[in-house]
Amino acid sequence: MKIYKYDTYDKMSKAAADIVAKQLKEKPDSVICFPSGDSPTGMLTHLVDCANSGKIDLSQCFFVGLDEWVGMDQNDFGSCKHYLHANFFSKLNIAPDHITLFDAKADDLEAECEKMNAFIKSKGGLDMMIVGIGMNGHLGLNEPGTPFDLYAHLSELDPLTVEVGQKYFQQETELTHGITLGLKHLQEAKIPVLIASGIKKAPIIHEALQGLVSTEVPASILQNIKPAIILLDEDAGSELEHGA
């Protein structure tokens, strides 16, 4: 794992976008997983600008969504699908068959997990998997206690995830379960990337990256993933011990 800290959120976001751009130049048909949330917005904005100015070509790339709240789809403000379409897909001319997102309204969610696993496997795995980190150390919706060896799966949401998740919605919303790529996907991704910003993330970043590796802090698995790249703004990395 390599940790990089940047003075500002924008510099961190540009660095994340540059990593994606470099990957696309080396392999135009890369399979890349994007998260939703606050941290990736700047990265997606930079990528949209680069694509629309002709600096990068996204037409051959395959995009995979990291997770979704069960029971929601693109029409639900606050859903992961809504976020990715609003901040990325709607601003670009990407073929629909190059976008694979969880159907969290599917009648058979277990089958939906298997479908996602099969798609990723058929493409030879994820070339890049970008994740944020939750206040409880979750990656995607891999909540505390989640085994490290799972692929896509259903997840019962941790109370802190339910509480913090309300910020994405315009009114209080019942959240109970999620559907998510697993930590096994992260371990097998050719380039695993964590992005985090803001002073609120500083304590969990310290615990995840310099504490004990434990399923109680899912993000701690990153310590065991040699190619992992950690991108932090100054605030998020402010509690890391000297030398990180």
Cβ–Cβ < 8 Å for 141, 176: no
Token pair recorded at residue 88: 């990325």
Instruction: Please identify which of the residues 68, 112, 127, 143 carries the catalytic annotation.
Output: 143
Tokens linked to 197: 């910003």
From the list 68, 82, 87, 138, the catalytic residue is 138
Active-site annotation holder among 46, 76, 87, 136: 136
User: Using CA atoms, how far apart are residues 136 and 52, in angstroms rounded to an integer?
Assistant: 36
Count of CB atoms situated within 10 Å of the CB of 212: 10
136 is catalytic: yes
Q: What share of the chain is helix, strand, coil (3-state, %, to 5)?
A: 40, 20, 45
198 and 235 in contact (C-beta within 8 Å)?
yes
Q: Is 117 among the residues known to form the active site?
A: no
Token pair in block for residue 92: 């670009």
Token pair belonging to 219: 């993000």
Active site residue 107: no
State the catalytic residue, choosing from 46, 67, 112, 142. 67
| Residue 235 falls in the annotated catalytic set | no
Catalytic residues: 67, 136, 138, 143
